[in-house]
């Protein structure tokens, strides 16, 4: 028996089994009820706007109330030991205005966009993104098996083995479970890594379009037609390609959030290990 015949037999069995088990009438009613739910479901943007308005109004009200006490409290909690900045002439008077500034708990990450207003940033050569990879990680590079987590037994796997911080490069391998797994793509979540043009995490879509004349942009709608070779997209993505390689820019609010370097065959918002 060939594989095609086995699949046909299995498909016939599945069809028979499903037809014998499903209650089409009940499913139809459930689907209609669900459709009504879809119609009544408010637009997510409306909900977001309403929620933002409520938060804003609550914030203003709180601000106004606290202001009556001549104390502005900011920061995560009112009980947190504050850093106190006293304004006005030094005085021990309890009625002086006190601003309790928040204590930063996390060191700011590299954010050139926010710092300079420019989304193109020159990075040193050892943090360079190109069509072959990023920094010292190259597509096709053979990794030590200990750096790889195989996914089931499909040959696909993830590197590195442990989740890293945002500055850590990561991606997929082929040959996972063997003695010589090879990197199939390199993914960059940090704004430290940049292309020679200065593009990286934090770059705006408009800038990408200005720099790359052949940029392909594919908007997520769940079931759109492929655009320029992208198989499908469930996130907003933009990509450029050179030969058999592609650099994909995953976008959030039209700003690059992740960069991926890999084979053009798998560009776009791919499946990962499946």
Partner 1 sequence: MTDTRTFEAIFKVEYAGMVALGSWLTGDRASAEDLTQEAFARAHRDWAKVGALDAPGAWVRHVLVNLASNERRRRRREVRAVARLEPPPPAFPEVPPDQHLWAAIADLPFNQRAAIALRYLHDQSADQIAEAIGCRPATARVHLHRAHRTLADRLGVALADDEAGPGDPAGADLRGTGTRDTNTRPTATEERP
Does residue number 96 form part of the binding site for partner 1 (CB under 8 A)? no
Say whether 210 sits in a helix, a strand or coil. Answer: helix
Residue placing its CB nearer to partner 1 in the complex, 69 or 265: 265
Longest dimension (CA), the chain: 94
**DSSP three-state, residue 55:** helix
Helix (H) or strand (E) holding 5: helix 3-21
Residue 129 CA from chain centroid, whole number: 18
Q: Which is nearer to partner 1, 144 or 265 (CB)?
A: 265
3-state DSSP call for residue 130? strand
Scanning 19-27, 51-59, 100-108, 116-124 for contacts with partner 1 by CB under 8 A, the matching segment is: 19-27
Tell me phi and psi for residue 121, to 5 degrees: -130, 130
Taking CB under 8 A as the binding criterion, the range among 23-31, 47-55, 76-84, 182-190 that sits at the site for partner 1 is 23-31
Reading the block at residue 240, the tokens are: 């450029």
CB 148 within 8 A of CB 157: yes
- Tell me the window of 58-66, 80-88, 108-116, 161-169 that interacts with partner 1 (CB under 8 A): 161-169
The first and second tokens of residue 126, run together, are 């050892």
Q: Are 171 and 185 in contact (CB under 8 A)?
A: yes
Per CB under 8 A, contacts with partner 1 among 132-151 are 132, 149-151
Q: Encoding tokens for residue 265?
A: 């065959």
Q: How far is the CB of 152 from partner 1 (least distance, A)?
A: 6
Of residues 30-69, which lie at the interface with partner 1 (CB under 8 A)? 30-32, 34-35, 37-39
Binding positions for partner 1, 216-235, rule CB under 8 A: 216, 222-226, 228-229, 231-232, 234
Q: How many residues bind partner 1 (CB under 8 A)?
A: 75
Nearest to 168 by CA among 192, 200, 198, 196: 192
Question: What are the two backbone dihedrals, phi and then psi, of residue 123, each rounded to the nearest 5 degrees?
Answer: -115, 155
CA 156 to chain centre: 21
By beta-carbon proximity to partner 1, the closer residue of 10 and 58 is 10
Question: Of 47-55, 62-70, 110-118, 153-161, which segment contacts partner 1 by CB under 8 A?
Answer: 153-161
Binding mask 188-217 for partner 1 (x = CB under 8 A): -------xxx--------------xxxxx-
Nearer to partner 1, 99 or 235 (CB): 235
- Classify strands 98-101 and 71-73 as parallel, antiparallel or unpaired: parallel
Closer to partner 1 by Cβ: residue 39 or 45: 39
**Minimum CB–partner distance for residue 181 and partner 1 (Å):** 15
* Nearer Cβ to partner 1 (82/174): 174
When the beta carbons of 146 and 225 are compared against partner 1, the nearer one is 225
- Least distance between partner 1 and beta carbon 29 (Å): 10
Which of the stretches 62-70, 79-87, 88-96, 239-247 binds partner 1 when contact is defined by CB under 8 A? 239-247
Q: How far is the CB of 80 from partner 1 (least distance, A)?
A: 31
Strand, coil or helix: 175 = coil
Distance between CA 213 and CA 172 in Å, rounded? 28
């Amino acid at each position: 028996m060939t594989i095609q015949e086995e699949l046909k037999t299995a498909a016939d069995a599945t069809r028979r089994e499903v037809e014998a088990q499903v209650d089409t009438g009940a499913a139809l009613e459930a689907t209609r009820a669900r459709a009504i739910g879809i119609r009544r479901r408010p637009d997510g943007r409306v909900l977001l706007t309403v929620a933002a308005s409520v938060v804003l109004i609550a914030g203003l009200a709180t601000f106004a109330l606290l202001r009556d006490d001549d104390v502005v409290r900011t920061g995560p909690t009112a009980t947190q030991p504050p850093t106190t900045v006293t304004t006005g002439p030094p005085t021990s008077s309890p009625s002086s205005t006190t601003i309790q500034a928040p204590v930063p708990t996390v060191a700011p990450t590299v954010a050139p966009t926010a710092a300079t207003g420019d989304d193109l940033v020159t990075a040193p050569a050892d943090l360079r993104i190109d069509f072959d990879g990023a920094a010292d990680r190259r597509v096709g590079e053979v990794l030590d098996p200990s750096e790889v987590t195989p996914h089931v037994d499909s040959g696909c796997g993830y590197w590195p083995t442990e989740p890293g911080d945002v500055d850590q490069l990561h991606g997929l391998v082929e040959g996972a479970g063997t003695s010589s797994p090879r990197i199939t793509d390199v993914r960059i979540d940090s704004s430290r890594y940049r292309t020679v043009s200065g593009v990286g995490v934090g770059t705006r879509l408009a800038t990408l379009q200005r720099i790359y004349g052949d940029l392909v942009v594919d908007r997520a709608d769940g079931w759109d037609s492929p655009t320029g070779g992208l198989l499908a997209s469930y996130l907003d993505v933009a990509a450029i390609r050179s030969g058999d390689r592609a650099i994909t820019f995953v976008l959030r609010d039209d700003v690059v959030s992740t960069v991926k370097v890999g084979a053009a065959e798998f560009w776009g918002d791919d499946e990962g290990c499946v």
